[in-house]
Every structure is written in structure tokens, then in C-alpha cells.
Amino acid sequence: MKVRKAVVPVAGLGTRFLPATKAIPKEMLTVVDRPTIQYIVEEVVASGIKEVVLITSAGKAAIENHFDYSFELETYLAQKGKFDLLREVRNISRLINVVSVRQKEPLGLGHAVMVSESVIGGEPFVVVLGDDLVDAEVPCVYQMLKIFERLEESIVAVQKVSLKEVHRYGIVEGEEIEPGVYRVDRLIEKPTVGATKSNLAVIGRYCLRPEIYDCLHRTLPGIGGEIQLTDALDMMRKERALYAYEFKGRRFDAGDKLGYLEATVTFALEHQDIGGPFKEFLKGLVKNLD
């Protein structure tokens, strides 16, 4: 089964970054020199997917505009001879085909995925959360797609976390059937400390068969009165196989202030132009802290 489309939910209000996100979508906050949503789309493109379905809400037009053609800006850059910037701006608009679907009510991640059904149809697809960044030599989505091609069953990306942190995540319980791949026996959304011995936390990457839509329609509202994708996945694994993949790379929650800062420092150090000088700055900063 070939995966051709990616669903990227970007309808959230970004309250953890207020007041910065009062007028700017949280996905448009920049990490070094590009918004977080661009890192997400670039990962999808690098994984061979050519169409992105944005699940949006009111006030998110800036995200769509970012990937659109800008005649005025491109004309200005050309007139000023700023051809490097012109090339980069043009590349953004040519990255991928973008379709937008409005999530009219904030009813959770499961609901956000569910409203994409009319666009996805009966195809498998990936879901990539708009504020989850993964720094990896091989794109995380690509890693998952290679496993999906073999197993042809839905896959969730997981990472190991401290047992004290399990209450912040959806948690997978299951058996490791090959290095880094687990057959899921149970999924728990934000369990209380001590409710599970597993520390395999689901992060913002999913490769899903279209049967997930039927499960989402049958899923009742859970924590916070929202339709939880984790609950729908737990329903689906009772009806067919579901796998978890411990991806290779480092994940940053760019929707969290500390995670956002960690991502900024990491990507700045890797930046072709400023990585070296920034590293020297950090060395001096550490000396001053001592």
C-alpha cells in the first residue's frame, strides 16, 4: 500500500505560548530561520510524500500563506538582486501541494484526524503533529514508511520516557518483535503514575490504514471531553494488528517552551551559516555561568 498523503493538524490555539500566539499561529513560530511547520513539511517531502492536508481553524491563514506563491515579495527580492532569498522563497511555495480542511470545533486530535476523511478517502496516510520536531539523519516519517511497506499495518512512533513522565503521553504496552518494533497489546492515554510498567510514549508521528476512520467514528469522547486518537487506535488494535516503532533520532516538543528552546539551540548548532559562531557563543556563555 502506497502512502501519498500526510495529515498535519494545526488547529490548536497554542495557549502554552501566549501572548506570543495571540495573533500568530504557534506553528509559525520560528526555530532559527524557518517556522516549525516548515520543518514538518520538509520532513514529509523528504520522505517521498507530495500532498499535505492541513487541519486548520480560524486564525490559521498565515500557515497556508507561507506555502503559497507571493508575487509582491518575489518581485521585490528580484528587483533588489537578493537572488539567494528569492530562490529559498520560491522553493517554499514549490515544496508540496497543500489542501486545507477546517476543524470547526476543538474536539481533540482524534476529531482533527477524522475531519480529513473526505480528502484521504480509502488510502493509508501519515499524521504528523505540527509542533513535534524530530532531528534525525533519516527522516522519522521515512523510517516509518519503510516498516509500513513490510507490515502493511498501522504504526505509531514511540520513544522511551521516564516513568514519572508517562502521565503526559499516550503509552504503548506490547512485545518487541524485532529491534525497535513492538506489536501493540494496549494503548493508554495519559495514565496515572503506577498504572503501567511501560515507558513507551507515543509521539507525533503515525502511519495509519484507512480503517482508523471507522474506529474514530465509534470512539466516545475521553479525557477533556475530546475524541482521543489513542483511544481509536486501541480500538483498532483489537480488530487488526497495530505496531509501535522506536524511531532513530531526537524529538523536540516545540509546543512547549523548554522543548522549543532545546530545538532552537540544536538546529542552530547544525545550521550551515551560524553553527560555528553560535557554538563559540555557547562556550563563552557556559564559562560565564561557571
Only one residue has cell 515579495, namely: 73
For the chain, what is the mean pLDDT?
Answer: 88
The answer to whether residue 172 scores a pLDDT higher than 90 is yes
* pLDDT value for 212: 96
Q: Is residue 225 very low, low, confident or very high in pLDDT (cuts 50, 70, 90)?
A: confident
Which run of H or of E encompasses 216? Answer: helix 212-218
Burial label, 130 (beta-carbon count in 10 A; 0-12, 13-18, 19+):
buried
What cell numbers appear for 205 in the block? 508521528
The answer to whether residue 195 scores a pLDDT higher than 80 is yes
Which run of H or of E encompasses 158? Answer: strand 154-160
pTM of the model: 0.89
* pLDDT value for 130: 85
Q: Is residue 19 very low, low, confident or very high in pLDDT (cuts 50, 70, 90)?
A: confident
The answer to whether residue 290 scores a pLDDT higher than 70 is no
- Give CA–CA dist 145/150, Å, rounded: 9
Radius of gyration of the chain (CA): 20
pLDDT: is 202 or 121 the higher one?
Answer: 202
**Would you tell me how many other CB atoms lie within 10 Å of the CB of residue 72?**
7
Burial label, 123 (beta-carbon count in 10 A; 0-12, 13-18, 19+):
middle
Beta bridge partners of 260: none
Pick left, alpha or beta for residue 37 (phi over 0 → left; psi -120 to 50 → alpha; otherwise beta). alpha
- Give CA–CA dist 182/194, Å, rounded: 21
pLDDT: is 250 or 60 the higher one?
Answer: 250
CA distances from 121 to 118, 127, 218, 232 (A): 6, 14, 18, 18
Mean pLDDT of 195-223: 91
Best-predicted range by mean pLDDT among 4-18, 46-60, 97-111, 264-278?
264-278
* pLDDT value for 224: 74
Whether residue 32 contacts residue 135, with contact meaning beta carbons closer than 8 Å, is answered with no
Mean pLDDT of 259-264: 94
Task: Give per-residue pLDDT as tens, 20-48.
Answer: 888 888 899 999 988 999 999 989 999 99
Task: Give per-residue pLDDT as tens, 71-117.
Answer: 677 777 787 787 777 777 767 667 777 888 888 888 899 999 999 99
Share of the chain above pLDDT 90, in %: 54
| Fold of the 5-271 domain | Spore Coat Polysaccharide Biosynthesis Protein SpsA; Chain A (3.90.550)
Only one residue has cell 517556522, namely: 35
Mean pLDDT of 257-282: 93
The answer to whether residue 53 scores a pLDDT higher than 80 is yes
* pLDDT value for 84: 76
Mean pLDDT of 143-152: 95
